Structure 1
Amino acid sequence: MRWFTADLHIHSVLSPCGGLEMSPVALMQRVQDLKIDWIAITDHNSMANCPAYEKVAGDFGIAFTWGVEIQTAEEIHLLAYFDDHSQAQEFDKLLYSSLLPLQNDADFFGDQVVIDENENIIKLEERALINSSIWGVDEAVDMIRNHDGYCMPAHIDATANSIISQLGFIPNPEMFDAFGITAKCNVEAYKQQVPYLETNSLIRSSDAHYLADMGSGWTKFYVEKPVMEEIMLTVSGTNGRLISI
């Protein structure tokens, strides 16, 4: 086993609120400079850019996980991750069909760019990815599980679009694999607010939308290999696996 430095909440040029500077090569160069060796792309409500970014990550020797940041009907942000790419693609189709049929206002929110590994534009996504799915939290989690995915609420300490900001508490903590926290979260202080959560179930990430955001938050995992299944084993401390935030 070995230590991996991971940032598992990063946006690409597909997210309307993300910068066009977050192109695959520029992003991987930044990741490499920061000595981060494992990332996940988690765009809003779509995994359309995961294939391109995974290819470029591989060229840079950076481990890559497919992910997505879902906005549920309650306007809660959930992070879903998949080790199985075929399951991820099937899930992505269902997620897309669950989105409200609203058109993206590119002048206000920004373009939603789908690209290939050579940074050629494949298309501009016209459906508004910044809006909610019709799935509620329970249905979203069930759909993730049905596709062999892993799920955690994003940035639970944030004042907007977190499960706690929207509901006031976490109704069923056991339904989630882990819990995302913001880059600036003071874990010791925050634990006073959520004493029912184990520290080793918290995962810090940057939630980067721009290159300047990169490096603001990461988590270290002592695991056999960089896959989500291993992260779930760190939460329980199985066979010496460790997590450090």
Structure 2
Amino acid sequence: MHEFTRGGHGAEYVKTDLHVHTPGSHDYRDNVPPEDLVEAFEAEGLELVALTDHDCPGWYEEVVDAAEDTDLEILPGVEITTHYGSERRIHVTAVFPPNRADDVNHVLSQIDINPADAEGQHSDEDIEDIYRTVREYDGLPILAHIDERAGAHHEIERSNPIKDDLFDEDLVAALEIVNDETRGEFDGFPFIRSSDAHGLDDIGERYTFMKMTEPSFEGLRTALADPESRISLENTLHEHPSIDGVFCDGEFLQNRGACLDASKSG
């Protein structure tokens, strides 16, 4: 974890992107070094980024090394191709704490994906088993871009009974959406937006603000557990006034001041 230097006290909104690819994915468009990715993250004001290459750990270690002298927090992750769907198979992203980065390979192996030869692979495991395996390694399973291609809502008919298994409120940590209207289709889930960046130009296209004390996996977990007060998909965050200090005039408290160590919060 890099030293957190943003001003203020308590929880603040952090700009996050939990679905970003690198040249470690077979379909990444740009041949760039990890330093260019880090520069693009910083240029877009991102503070918490999850790297989710297709069915492999991808460039996590390389990007973490490149971000060493920045305030960015980079989380390990993966985008898992399931056997659900037809021509376009449904995708699930999984985000892990940094201390479980080495376990991404173990997760993939347990769901019968060979991360050393990821292109064209998919897991034949039941979706509930994929979710549970991710959670066994402290990961957060997220249904990816549900309202676009390879997304569970887009690819599976409403009447298909498998949809209840896919949208399991007890196992799915969040739903990633592209269109705001999709929120009205589901209850009981946190919603996030992510770029699904497959090139430098995609970074910053979509993102989510999450309130946390510092950019971290634990901050992410807390925000997903309390989405109404800690997650915002809006571009503009409103600041609320707060009391920074009190100065007393009169009686025995004459000319005494006290700093309350408070700050503005979104």
TM-score (norm 2): 0.72
Q: State which drifts further: 126-135 or 43-52.
A: 126-135
Q: Any unmatched runs of 5+ in structure 2?
A: 1-10, 234-266
Match of 2:197 among 199, 208, 214: 208
Task: Say whether residues 1:242 and 2:230 are aligned partners.
Answer: yes
Q: Which amino acid in structure 2 is aligned with residue 215 of structure 1?
A: G
Look at both structures and tell me which one has the larger radius of gyration over its CA atoms.
2
Match of 2:142 among 144, 152, 158: 152
In the alignment, the residues of structure 2 paired with residue 149 and residue 126 of structure 1 have an alpha-carbon distance, to the nearest angstrom, of: 21
Residues 199-239 of structure 1, C-alpha deviations (whole Å, 9 max, x = no match): xx11101000011111110111110222233223223438x
Matches within 5 A, 1:19-168: 19-74=29-84, 75-85=89-99, 87-96=100-109, 98-99=111-112, 127-158=117-148, 160-168=149-157
Helix, strand or coil: the match of 2:76?
A: strand
In the alignment, the residues of structure 1 paired with residue 24 and residue 109 of structure 2 have an alpha-carbon distance, to the nearest angstrom, of: 14
Contact 2:75–2:98 (8 Å) recurs in 1: no
Root-mean-square deviation (CA, aligned residues, Å) is 2.3
Contact 1:82–1:149 (8 Å) recurs in 2: yes
In the alignment, the residues of structure 2 paired with residue 209 and residue 50 of structure 1 have an alpha-carbon distance, to the nearest angstrom, of: 15
Q: Any unmatched runs of 5+ in structure 1?
A: 102-124
- Cα offset, 1:241, TM superposition: 5.3
Tell me what 2:182 maps to: 190
Q: Which amino acid in structure 2 is aligned with residue 65 of structure 1?
A: L
Helix, strand or coil: the match of 1:47?
A: coil
Residues 124-174 of structure 1, C-alpha deviations (whole Å, 9 max, x = no match): x8624342122231111111111111111001111x211223433541233
Identity of aligned residues (%): 24
Q: Which amino acid in structure 1 is aligned with residue 143 of structure 2?
A: P
What count of residue pairs does the alignment treat as equivalent?
212
Larger relative contact order (CA 8 Å, sep ≥ 6): 1
TM-score (norm 1): 0.77
Residues 77-107 of structure 1, C-alpha deviations (whole Å, 9 max, x = no match): 111111153x342342341474567xxxxxx
